Amino acid sequence: MRTVVAFSVALAMVAAVLSGSVRANPGDDSPMTQAPRTRPKEGPVYSRSAFDVTPLSEARVSELAKSLTPEEAHVILRQGTERPFCGTLLDNKKEGVYVCRLCGLPLFSSESKFNSGTGWPSFFAPYDVDHVAYIRDESHGMERVEIVCARCEGHLGHVFNDAPQTKTGLRYCLNSASLSFIEKGTEAPAASRPIETATACFAGGCFWGVEDRFQQVAGVIDAVSGFQGGWVKDPTYKQVCFEETGHAEAVRVVYDPKVVSYEELLAFFFRVHDPTQLNRQGPDVGVQYRSAIFAANAEQAKAAKEFVERLQQTPKFAQRRIVTQVVGPEAAGEFYPAEEYHQDYHAKHGGSCVIPSDE
């Protein structure tokens, strides 16, 4: 098993290896700007776009490899490189998605494909930053950064920072043999489709800590910091903090209902904040820090109300009133994601919010 490195480490490798190349100044939509998220300690691993990217076992990879041609096996399994200008997908100009030839995971979109003139299909950003992994490559007397499929570790090609004409400054140089193409409008096979998800929204004080905790729950695909429950459209953090918007700092949780249930998320939510504090949470004071559950549908609203009622009858809350609001879908309103610098805040800064232990 080769050593796969994190995206942030890979970027440092690219800069160090190609220090003499032209540097690009990445924009906000560059994969360079996306920090690695906190991962659950156990259970499936999901990408931001809701694909199961749990590493495949060697046995499963061997089984999938039986469908490869000798040329594909040479490239994908033994880090081979096809000759320039010979790949079948080099001149493909159709709209669609390029997926891993071995396991089917979407890797690149036609929207990021460009003509680099190098003789291999080139892209400036992955389909999802969680779908591509990186390995230091010192073969053939060179220092490069190899890119592999994050799910099966099939060899794809290399990444370089010599494309200043693109949004990211990066050139993902791919072998056609490592890819399959699914044209837009064509039904994708099961291996190339995201899982079915559900969504839940919670407010329990500063969203930095709540988001971080939920991202560590097995079955949670993503947790996004934002605002909900108010009357101002597209609020900013400054507005929510210093003006009357009615919004609470909330976290939208996208999860796999086959792995974790809504009731389990409710139980976790009440373990990581104090639901008896009115319009505050610890040192943070104001209606924006209130405890609230914003139900996505009538079923969630009913389940949340019943859960709170049961919790109120337990010895832990016998002498303390739970003040958590349960807001139905009609009154919950739209969830507005917060500014990018609020997302994955704990992962970026090493933790900031002190919230109750979930033990």
Cα–Cα distances in angstroms (integers) from residue 102 to residues 42, 122, 188, 258, in the given order: 25, 19, 15, 26
Integer Cα distance of 323 and 332 in angstroms = 17
Residue 206 annotated as catalytic: yes
Q: Identify the sign of the CA torsion 324, 328, 334, 337.
A: positive
What is the per-residue burial (b if ≥16 Cβ within 10 Å, else e) of 294-303? bbbeeebbeb
Count the Cβ atoms, other than its own, within 10 Å of residue 185.
7
108, 114, 111, 141: which is closest to 126 by C-alpha?
A: 108
> Which residue in the list 103, 152, 173, 201 is annotated as catalytic?
173
What is the per-residue burial (b if ≥16 Cβ within 10 Å, else e) of 189-199?
Answer: eebbeeeeebb
Yes or no: say if 135 and 4 are a contact pair by the CB < 8 Å rule. yes
- Give the Å distances, CA to CA, from 16 to 12, 137, 146, 160: 6, 13, 14, 11
Given its phi and psi angles, is residue 34 left (phi above 0), alpha (psi -120 to 50 degrees) or beta? beta
**Backbone conformation region of residue 286, classed left if phi is above 0, alpha if psi is from -120 to 50, else beta:** left
Active-site entry in 149, 152, 206, 353: 206
Closest CA to 260 of 43, 39, 37: 43
| Residues with a known catalytic role | 173, 206
